[in-house]
Structure 1
Amino acid sequence: MKNIAIFASGSGTNFQAIADAIREEKLSAVIKLLVCDRPGAYSIERAIKQCIPTFVFSAKEYASKEEYEIEILQKLKELEIDYIVLAGYMRLIGPTLLKSYEGRIINIHPSLLPAFPGKDAIGQALNANVKESGVTIHFVDEGMDTGPIIAQQSVPLSEVETIESIQTKIHQIEHQLYPQVLQRLFTTSQEDDR
C-alpha cells in the first residue's frame, strides 16, 4: 500500500476519481495529504469531507518557491509519502521536491504530449483544429510537461467541439485512466521493493 500526496489547484475532479478508486479497492494507496496552492479551491472541500489532511498555501506569502517547497517536503516526510500525484496542480515543481522525489512524481495532462504542453491544453487543441486530443500521464521532471510518458489515451474530436465538450471527453478518460495507471505503477514498484 503506497502513501500518496495529491497536489491540486482547482476543483479536484481527479482527486475525487483517485479517492473513489481507493474506496472501491481498485487502487492500493492511501491519500495521506492534499497539497493545494489556492485557498478556497473546491479540492480542499473534497479532502475535508473525506477527513484527508490538507496543506493549503499561497505562493505569494513565501519569499521563494524553495521556501514553500521545503515546508511541503517536511509534511511529506512526516507522513511518509511514497509518491506525489499531481491532479490539476498549476505550478512547476521545483528542485527541492524533484530531488527528494525523483521518479516518484506523476502528472496527468489533458493532451497527447508533446502536443499542447502547459496551460489551457484543451484551448490550444481547439484553436489548432486537430482531429484528436487526449490524456497523457507522465513522470515529472524540471520542464513543463516534458517528463517520460507512462501512458496516453486519445480522444477523437469532431468539427463542432467546444472547450466544454472536449473537457467532458477528457475528464471521462482521466478519471478512468489515472487510477488504473497508478495501480499498475504502484504494483510494479512494490515488486521492485521486494
Structure 2
Amino acid sequence: MSESTISPHRLAVLISGSGTNLQAILDAIASGSLQAQVAVVLSNKADAGGLERARQAGIPTEVLDHRQFDSREAFDQAMIDALTPYQPETVVLAGFMRILSPVFVRHYTGQLINIHPSLLPKYRGLHTHARALEAGDSEHGCSIHFVTEELDGGPLIAQARLEIVANDNPDSLSNRVQIREHQLYPLVLQWRAEQRLTLDEQGVKLDGEALPEQGYQVP
C-alpha cells in the first residue's frame, strides 16, 4: 500500500467550551505537522464555541445534553453510540468538563487521552493556576495522560513546564499554560498518528520504550 492511500489517523474530539485546543489541533493538521483527521467533534453543550470552529472546518458535530440522561452511565453509553460510526482511533478530551464513568473509560482503554493544566500529580481537578500560585510553586505547566477511572490520575504521556514569574496571576498563568497546551497536544497526537505511542499492561510506551513516570518532558 502506498503512503498516499493510507487513511489518516481518526480523532474524535470532546469539548464543553470554546475549543482552543481543538483549534490548535486543526491548525496543526492544516500545517501538516499533524497527520490526522478530526472525524467528529462532540459536545455536551449546544452553545460550546468549539462547535462553530468544527462547523467552519467542515467537521461533523454531535451534541448530547448530559442533563437529558438519568445517569452518568447512560450519558456515556449514548456518547459511545454517537462516536462509534466515526470509528475514532484516538478520543481526545479537549476541555470536556464531565467526569467519565467506567462505561466510557473501559470502552476506549488505550485510546482515550486528556490534557490537564497542571504538572500532574499536582493539582488534580479545578482551579489549578490559583492553587499553584497559592502554594508558592516556582514552576507550573500542563500534562497529557491516558485516561483511567481515577480522576486526572491516568499514566502520564508528556508534560510541558514553565517558570512562574513574580507578577503572575491566575489569568496570566492560564494564558501562558494554554500556549504550551496548544504546542503539546498536536505533538502527542502525532505520536499516536505514527503508531509510536501506546498503553499496555506495562504502562505508556513511546517507540516501544517505557516512558518515565512523569512522562516525556518537553523543554
Whether these two folds match at TM > 0.5 is yes
In 2, distance between residues paired with 1:154 and 1:29? 26
Q: TM (normalized to structure 1)?
A: 0.93
Aligned positions of 1:69-108 closer than 5 A:
69-108=76-115
Question: Are positions 1:57 and 2:80 aligned together?
Answer: no
Q: Of 14, 19, 25, which aligns to 1:18?
A: 25
Q: TM (normalized to structure 2)?
A: 0.83
Question: Are positions 1:172 and 2:179 aligned together?
Answer: yes
Q: Percent identity?
A: 37
Q: 1:56 to 1:163 in 2, by over 3 A?
A: same
**1:2 shift after superposition:** 1.3
> How well do the aligned residues superpose, as a CA RMSD in angstroms?
1.6
Q: Which secondary structure state, in structure 1, belongs to the residue aligned with residue 46 of structure 2?
A: coil
Q: 1:112 to 1:189 in 2, by over 3 A?
A: closer
The one-letter code matched in structure 1 to 2:109 is E
Question: Are positions 1:4 and 2:6 aligned together?
Answer: no
In 1, distance between residues paired with 2:52 and 2:119? 30
**1:189 shift after superposition:** 5.3
Q: Which secondary structure state, in structure 1, belongs to the residue aligned with residue 150 of structure 2?
A: coil
**1:57 shift after superposition:** 2.1
**1:126 shift after superposition:** 2.1
The one-letter code matched in structure 2 to 1:70 is Q
The one-letter code matched in structure 2 to 1:138 is H
Kindly tell me the number of residue pairs found equivalent between the two proteins. 192
- Runs of 5+ consecutive residues of structure 2 not aligned to the other structure: 1-7, 199-206, 209-219
In 1, distance between residues paired with 2:180 and 2:59? 25
- Runs of 5+ consecutive residues of structure 1 not aligned to the other structure: none
